[in-house]
């Protein structure tokens, strides 16, 4: 059984200055786009993060300040990247918790609203962890019987992730062979914000942290409107603030 696609599936892998979604920046992006007819398109770019790359990060992915000093900044390539993944579902490895939120932050910083609404988000790590509990290199060896040479090169990792998903579809009939069935299996279909400050319970957005954990967001915004201002001034990802504002606007419209 092979993965059946009804629209392109773009596997994204980022290398970054660190793992803080709010503060760190992308230094390399690779996108491997799989079309429904099985053809592949690859886009890979080094990006100048406009901040020093810590040694710890360079030790992981091998990208140094010198390598990116003449590379474009994200703003210069943002539209090209957005267009390349327009009308695509998105796949990756731990992508729902890292790569997609990081990419969305970069888009928002340069004034581009990149929405995941209507897209299926396939996190291959989620399938793997639900089934086998290992890392990407181990997943590649386990599913593809190959050693992952060049791990932490974005293109190598993105391509390996695609191969792992293909092997998972072959191995686990219960996950199905469509993007929709895999997302349904992994339970990642109903994300509110990628930092998971909000979650959806019975169709209602509720807080997932702090003193209001478990309370509907609309209820808190009505009873304690200053909480919105506190969050908007706080060190929360821009995607979280964007979703909070959407919920507030929806609440105000219902009042009117």
pLDDT digits (tens, 9 = 90+) for 163-185: 999 999 999 999 999 999 999 89
* DSSP code per residue over 222-234: HH-THHHHHHHHS
pTM of the model: 0.79
Length of the chain: 256
The per-residue pLDDT for range 72-116, each reduced to its tens digit, is: 999 999 999 999 999 999 999 999 999 999 999 999 999 999 999
C-alpha atoms less than 13 angstroms from C-alpha of 166 in its C-beta half-sphere: 14
Cβ-Cβ contacts under 8 Å for 100 (sequence gap 6 or more): 12, 90, 92, 116, 121, 194
Residue range 208-216: mean pLDDT, rounded: 95
| Residue 244 confidence (pLDDT) above 80 | yes
26-54 tens-digit pLDDT: 999 999 999 999 999 999 999 999 999 99
Which pair of tokens denotes residue 22?
């709010």
pLDDT for position 133: 64
The tens digit of pLDDT for each residue in 118-158 reads 999 999 999 998 888 678 999 999 999 999 988 789 999 99
Whole-number Cα distances in Å, 43 to 30, 54, 100, 121? 6, 25, 16, 19
């Amino acid at each position: 059984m092979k993965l059946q696609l009804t629209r392109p599936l773009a596997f994204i892998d980022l290398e970054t200055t660190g793992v803080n979604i709010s503060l760190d920046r992308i230094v390399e992006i690779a996108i491997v786009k799989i079309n429904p007819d099985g053809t592949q398109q690859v886009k890979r770019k080094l990006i100048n993060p406009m901040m020093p790359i810590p040694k710890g990060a360079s030790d992981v992915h091998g990208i140094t300040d010198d390598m990116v000093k003449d590379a474009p900044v994200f703003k210069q390539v943002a539209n090209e990247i957005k267009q390349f993944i327009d009308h695509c579902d998105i796949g990756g490895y731990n992508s729902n918790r890292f790569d997609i939120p990081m990419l969305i932050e970069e888009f928002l910083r340069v004034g581009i609203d990149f929405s995941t609404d209507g897209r299926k988000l396939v996190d291959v790590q989620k399938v793997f962890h639900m089934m086998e509990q290992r890392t990407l290199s181990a997943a590649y060896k386990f599913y593809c019987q190959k050693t992952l040479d060049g791990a932490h090169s974005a293109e190598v990792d993105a391509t390996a992730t695609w191969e792992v998903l293909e092997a998972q579809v072959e191995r686990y009939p219960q996950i199905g062979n469509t993007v929709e069935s895999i997302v349904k299996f992994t339970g990642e279909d109903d994300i509110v914000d990628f930092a998971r400050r909000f979650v959806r319970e019975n169709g209602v957005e509720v807080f997932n942290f702090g003193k209001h954990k478990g309370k509907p967001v609309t209820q808190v915004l009505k009873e304690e409107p200053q909480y919105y201002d506190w969050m908007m001034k706080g060190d929360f990802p821009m995607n979280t603030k964007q979703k909070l504002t959407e919920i507030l606007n929806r609440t105000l419209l219902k009042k009117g």
